């Protein structure tokens, strides 16, 4: 259990256990409250963009609306359809809710990354991290959890025992499985530069704006990650899962009461955790943004002492939460074939090609090759690959047309 948390090295005493417990409780409570606020934020921002007022009755600015909705859902009748598979039907909401929560455990929520401190902070005389756990496999855990989350949606639709939920869940799982490849490949670009899988190591690698992986991987992996993550979350414009014109309500049509609330909660919590992952991987997590233009110098210190990193993290997180809401308010939903074409024919090849190019640059750096030559050769190879791929897709499209398209 090395490095899961510096607290756990050596002998454990009551204080260590209490700190870990405190962290667990804080992450859990903050996660839930943040989800509640996120629902409110999304409704409020969208209503603003659509010239409406939005929730404004429960509490100041309608802040307690989500709480009221949650209580209402709690007291509604819990229906289980006659033809459903009872055990799987009850299991599915938890399978989608638990992974959403667990991602929080590996995200560095704060800490001091200046100098060689590597995010370590001292609480009550003990060294620890502002992060529940820092496992060796950090980012892989994230991919594993998003793999588990597929089960929740897939089984929910199947266990409902009716047509539309099954169609919705088959769509959703096909979409999530296809975009996972692009997601993993763009994470690969980050890992290549960071040289470690642990999330705190990745954050530690990004000191200063030019070292943010957004810049140092050349923006493209970030764009791909953002698109793939949106598809992975089943959020607009990729929310074909719940295309209400075609599928009633998608995989959760038959769900009511608290089980529906769990799906709802998981969806919004996933939005927050995915934004946090984006911030961690590409935007330096709790690292401050230091400014050094001309005479203007600022090392990103907000004069908040130990809270500095957390505030920076929250500020970056808010930007992405807003971006997700913005997507939802402005972009129309894609057609299903467009979604699959984007995933398989554009995102996966582009992320793979970019990954190879970055790997070539990395190798060239280690071997002392000329950067320009490496870039030129790499781009030539990529262009050749792209030409081959587009020729292949053209041929297969022509064949399909002649055979009579199936869809």
Partner 1 sequence: MELFVFVCAAAMVLVGAVGVIVRSHPVHAALSLVLTLFGVAVLFVAQEAHFLAAVQVIVYAGAIVVLFLFVIMLLGVDNAEDLQIEPIAVQRPLATIVGAGTLALLVTAVTQGSDAIRSGTGAGIDDATVTGDPDSNIRQIARDLFSDHVFAFELVSVLLVVAVVGTVLLSRRPDKLGPQSGGAR
Q: Which residues bind partner 1 (CB under 8 A)?
A: 2-3, 85, 87-88, 135-137, 140-141, 143-144, 146-148, 150-151, 154-155, 158, 166, 169-170, 173-174, 177, 180, 195-198, 201, 399, 402-404
What is the C-alpha to C-alpha distance for residues 102 and 110, in angstroms, rounded to an integer? 17
Peptide bond into 161 cis (omega under 30): no
Number of residues written out for the chain: 407
What is the C-alpha to C-alpha distance for residues 287 and 38, in angstroms, rounded to an integer? 23
Task: For the CB of residue 50, give the shortest distance to partner 1 in the complex, in Å.
Answer: 37
Q: Which is nearer to partner 1, 87 or 303 (CB)?
A: 87
Task: Give the residues across from 298 on adjacent strands.
Answer: 291
What is the C-alpha to C-alpha distance for residues 364 and 337, in angstroms, rounded to an integer? 39
- Cβ of 368: how many Cβ atoms within 10 Å? 6
Q: Which is nearer to partner 1, 154 or 233 (CB)?
A: 154
Task: For the CB of residue 134, give the shortest distance to partner 1 in the complex, in Å.
Answer: 8
Task: For the CB of residue 329, give the shortest distance to partner 1 in the complex, in Å.
Answer: 32
Task: For the CB of residue 140, give the shortest distance to partner 1 in the complex, in Å.
Answer: 4
Q: Which is nearer to partner 1, 151 or 322 (CB)?
A: 151
CA distances from 79 to 129, 157, 202, 257, 385 (A): 44, 15, 45, 8, 53
Are 198 and 280 in contact by the 8 Å Cβ rule? The answer is no
Q: Which is nearer to partner 1, 3 or 329 (CB)?
A: 3
Task: For the CB of residue 5, give the shortest distance to partner 1 in the complex, in Å.
Answer: 12
CA distances from 155 to 102, 246, 339 (A): 20, 20, 22
Task: For the CB of residue 144, give the shortest distance to partner 1 in the complex, in Å.
Answer: 4
- Burial of 97-117, coded b for 16+ CB within 10 Å and e otherwise, reads bebbbbbbbbbbbbbbbbeee
Task: For the CB of residue 262, give the shortest distance to partner 1 in the complex, in Å.
Answer: 19
Closest CA to 320 of 265, 275, 378: 275
Q: Which is nearer to partner 1, 183 or 265 (CB)?
A: 183
CA distances from 251 to 45, 153, 246, 256 (A): 26, 7, 12, 12
Q: Which is nearer to partner 1, 201 or 236 (CB)?
A: 201
- The single residue listed with the structure tokens 């920076």 is 312
Task: For the CB of residue 305, give the shortest distance to partner 1 in the complex, in Å.
Answer: 28
Q: Which is nearer to partner 1, 161 or 378 (CB)?
A: 161
Q: Which is nearer to partner 1, 2 or 372 (CB)?
A: 2
């Amino acid at each position: 259990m090395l490095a899961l948390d510096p607290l756990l090295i050596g002998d454990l005493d009551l204080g260590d256990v209490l700190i870990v417990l405190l962290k667990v409780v804080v992450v859990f409570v903050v996660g839930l409250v943040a989800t509640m606020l996120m629902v409110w934020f999304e409704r409020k921002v969208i209503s603003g963009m659509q010239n409406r007022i939005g929730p404004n009755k429960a509490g100041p600015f309608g802040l307690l609306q989500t709480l009221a909705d949650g209580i209402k859902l709690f007291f509604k009748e819990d229906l289980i359809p006659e033809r459903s598979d009872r055990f799987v039907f009850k299991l599915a909401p938890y399978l989608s809710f638990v992974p959403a929560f667990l991602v929080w455990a590996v995200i560095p929520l704060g800490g001091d990354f200046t100098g060689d401190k590597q995010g370590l902070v001292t609480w009550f005389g003990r060294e620890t991290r502002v992060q529940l756990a820092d496992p060796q496999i950090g980012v892989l855990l994230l991919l594993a959890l998003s793999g588990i989350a597929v089960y929740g949606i897939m089984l929910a639709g199947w266990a409902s025992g009716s047509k539309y939920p099954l169609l919705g869940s088959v769509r959703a799982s096909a979409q999530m499985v296809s975009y996972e490849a692009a997601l993993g490949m763009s994470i690969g670009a980050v890992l290549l530069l960071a040289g470690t899988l642990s999330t705190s190591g990745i954050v530690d690698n990004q000191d200063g704006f030019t070292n943010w992986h957004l810049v140092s991987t050349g923006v493209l992996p970030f764009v791909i990650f953002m698109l793939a993550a949106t598809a992975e979350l089943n959020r607009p414009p990729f929310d074909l899962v719940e295309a209400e014109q075609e599928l009633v309500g998608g995989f959760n049509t038959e769900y009511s009461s608290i089980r529906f609330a769990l799906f709802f909660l998981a969806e919004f919590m996933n939005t927050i955790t995915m934004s946090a992952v984006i911030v961690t991987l590409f935007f330096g997590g709790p690292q401050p943004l230091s400014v050094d233009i001309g005479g203007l110098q600022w090392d990103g210190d907000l004069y908040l002492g130990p809270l500095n990193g957390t505030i920076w993290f929250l500020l970056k997180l808010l930007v992405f939460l807003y971006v997700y809401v913005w997507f939802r308010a402005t972009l129309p939903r894609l057609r299903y074939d467009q979604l699959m074409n984007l995933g398989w024919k554009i995102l996966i090849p582009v992320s793979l090609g970019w990954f190879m190019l970055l790997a070539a640059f990395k190798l060239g750096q280690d071997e002392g090759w000329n950067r320009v030559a490496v870039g030129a050769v790499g781009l030539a190879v990529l262009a050749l690959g792209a030409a081959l791929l587009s020729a292949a897709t053209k041929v297969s499209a022509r064949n399909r047309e002649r055979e009579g398209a199936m869809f």
